[in-house]
Chains A and B, each alone.
Chain A
Amino acid sequence: MIQALNSALDVMMARDPDVLTFGEDVGYFGGVFRVTEGLQQRYGATRCFDAPISEAGLVAAAIGMGAYGLRPVVEIQFADYIYPAFDQIVSEAARLRYRSAGEFTSPITIRTPYGGGIYGGQTHSQSPEALFAHVAGLKVVIPSTPHDAKGLLIAAIEEDDPVIFLEPKRIYNGPFDGHHDRPIEPWSRHPAGETPEGYYRIPLGQAAIVRSGSAVTVLAYGTMVHVALAAALESGIDAEILDLRTIWPVDIEAIVASVKKTGRCVIVHEATRTSGFGAELAALVQEHCFYHLEAPIARVTGWDTPYPHVFEWEYFPGPARVGAALRRVLEG
């Protein structure tokens, strides 16, 4: 996935001189996860460069650049570091278009690795997607494969709206199905690990059906797509799994079509449960599909705790917990 993201940046920087990327360790070092590797050599230090450890300041600088027509891609080294910039993201980037009645916009992309499963403890494992989905004016994207990551990042950079692009860092190097005690499978053995050369885009706001089924709909994104696939396989339940890919705007049509077909719905995310994005999804499903539901909607999520270092695998919603939820809604 790292190479795919790198390729997306490379493609866009080659196509559009207004695209530039910066962040902490992004230039010379090539990014702490190597996503920007080689870009400074290729495009120079004016277009790919290091920023001080000043998240508020550097995100704000990007918003200013964007207001003047550039398309900056900012990297926040870990999503856990994004909070100092929250003010700028919420009060400036998200609202500039509205309060200027369309005079100025914020065509910026903020890329940031998020999520757990890497023994990062509470400041390197968080899943803050719901905080951003809650803010009108922002778009929130979470890919689950290298193929999607590249196409979605290209689309995000081309967006005229600010995009929070959350990269599930646990699956940077290979799909992870939650079985932490098994060897890591590399992306090279996964069909969606293959990334076409050059330019292609996956429009924001479109979910993908990654597994067709008739018994129950699973709504997932990021790492949890792979966990859900494992849970379906291991439980033998004919689940239809939707990878939302874009959290906001959410593909409500795809969700409704699937839930009306299956009559059951399980929502899976890694973030804490209360006011998580699953709560929004559950509300949308009951608003649109109430008379089609055969069982209460189930949520499988992280617990309402800070990310617990030593209890990582108790916190992380693995295939066993997802499988249990699948069985529960089928009994309901």
Chain B
Amino acid sequence: MAGLLTIHPEVLLGFYRDMLLIRRFEERAGQLYGMGLIGGFCHLYIGQEAVVVGMQAALEPGDQVITGYRDHGHMLACGMEANGVMAELTGRVGGYSRGKGGSMHMFSREKQFFGGHGIVGAQVSLGTGLAFANQYRGDNRVCLAYFGDGAANQGQVYESFNMASLWKLPVIYIVENNQYAMGTSVKRSSSETHLHKRGGSFNIIGEEVDGMDVVAVRDAGLRAVAKARAGGGPTLLEMKTYRYRGHSMSDPAKYRTREEVDAVKEKSDPLEMLRKRLMDGAIADEAALKEIDREVREIVAESARFAQESPEPPESELFAHIYSEA
């Protein structure tokens, strides 16, 4: 595992806790969905937890994050409250967007999380604009713009690459290659399947990263962030990862075999890999990990309770926040 020797044990334990929180949160969201408490779209992040947790560890306070619609993990990694995220899923007033955004559309100024976007690839260009604003203000911030392997085929992604490289913007493009754009595999949709090479003609250096290895992710993130902060412009990180669940809750998952999914879970589950390292390195014992598990379960249980008890927004919310109040 990359960088293990240079990383503080407490930091590794923190990674484990954050990744576990995302997994348990998503499992619970899936249950609430099954119970009919969450309607519409719900894209679970299970399997990809190491990506956001590793990348977040490469950031400083004030740095920005923007992503697409599989966003619950990103928000939790940013430090947004599980309560607010879960309550948005159930469409309650205690949700981050007062129930008006839903699963794909949540935001937090405090945590510099800029959404949560439901149009495939659109957030990549917005993140480019955020990075422009950073450069304009000279505030030394960087922006992480996440997207998926499906979005990698959107034209505006390349318009963004061109501008970001041309203007040396402090942005990190992170393609979370979970290998399936809904039901279409990368092989069936992309002439160049090594997505980290896609920045080449814009002079953007790309790097392939084991997205199941949180430390490898963090190390790649640190390199890219340092370069961006120093005025070196964008980097494209391709995170090789995998989503265990369907694209959304209504996905019959006929496009891949159970064996394929099981093999990933067996051999490269990000949480299990990290757990093993913690135990093997004598960084944590069974009791310590159990304590983390207990803490996480409590947070998730509380979020599920909050998401059901928080009231639905008043009808007046229907017409609020369309235009400025002035």
A positions within 8 Å CB-CB of B? 20, 46, 51-52, 54, 56-58, 60-70, 72, 87-88, 91-92, 96-105, 136-137, 139, 159-161, 249
Contact = CB atoms under 8 A, between A and B. Distances in A.
B108 interface: yes
B321 interface: yes
A69 to B, nearest CB: 7
B324 to A, nearest CB: 4
Interface residues on B, range: 35 or more
Nearest to B105: A99
Contacts of B130: 64-65, 67-68
Contacts of A68: 64, 129-130, 133-134, 137
A57 B145 CA distance: 14
Nearest to B131: A64
A159 B324 contact: yes
Given A60-B122, A64-B127, A54 B108 contact: no
A92 to B, nearest CB: 6
Nearest to A61: B129
A67 B159 contact: no
B156 A57 contact: yes
A61 B97 contact: no
Contacts of B268: none
Contacts of A20: 136
Nearest to A69: B133
B122 A87 contact: yes
A91 B105 contact: no
Nearest to A105: B324
Interface in B151-183: 155-156, 159-160, 162-163, 166
Nearest to A106: B126
Q: Which of B107, B109, B320 has the most CB of A within 10 A?
A: B107
B136 A103 contact: no
Interface stretch (B4-12, B113-121, B298-306): B113-121
Given A67-B126, A99-B115, A100-B101, 12 more contacts: A56-B159, A57-B159, A57-B162, A64-B132, A65-B132, A92-B117, A100-B96, A100-B105, A100-B321, A101-B96, A101-B321, A160-B326
A62 B105 contact: no
Interface of B: 64, 66, 96-98, 100-101, 105-109, 114-119, 122, 124-134, 136-137, 155-156, 159-160, 162-163, 166, 317, 320-324, 326
A120 to B, nearest CB: 25
B162 A54 contact: yes
Contact of B128 (A61, A104, A137): A61
B125 A57 contact: yes
A54 B163 contact: yes
B136 A65 contact: yes
B324 A104 contact: no
A64 B107 contact: no
B104 to A, nearest CB: 9
Contacts of B133: 64-65, 68-70
Contacts of B124: 60
Nearest to A162: B323
Given A101-B101, A136-B322, A61 B160 contact: yes
A136 to B, nearest CB: 6
A91 B118 contact: yes
A60 B125 contact: yes
Q: Which of B100, B156, B322 has the most CB of A within 10 A?
A: B156
A102 B313 CA distance: 14
A58 B163 CA distance: 8
B98 A101 contact: yes
Contact of A67 (B106, B129, B136, B326): B129
Q: 6 closest A-B pairs (Cβ-Cβ)?
A: A64-B129, A57-B159, A60-B125, A54-B159, A61-B129, A100-B107
B141 to A, nearest CB: 9
B287 to A, nearest CB: 41
B321 A46 contact: no
A220 B176 CA distance: 51
B23 to A, nearest CB: 26
A60 B160 contact: yes
B136 A70 contact: yes
Contact of B321 (A61, A91, A102): A102
